[in-house]
Amino acid sequence: IVKLYESQHEWEQVIHFKKRVLEVVTDDERFHLLSEVGDLWKEKVGNVHKAIESYVDASALQPDDHKVLHK
């Protein structure tokens, strides 16, 4: 479903389904998904506030990851 919405540039739907996956993955996978969701909010949707929320959630899982802290 995510690939379908990506091909149609339906970024908010992509984000919605990636967030649903967060409920069933490990912390490491959750960290990467939250970072991806933050990037989508920032780069594709243009919603910096939502991006920051995702990056903060990701950094709570891996506080020493400087890439997410920088974003």
Give the mean pLDDT of 20-44: 96
pLDDT band at 1, cuts 50/70/90? very high
| pTM exceeds 0.75 | yes
- Distance between CA atoms of 4 and 17, rounded to whole angstroms? 11
Q: In the prediction, which pLDDT does 22 show?
A: 92
Q: What is the mean pLDDT of the chain?
A: 96
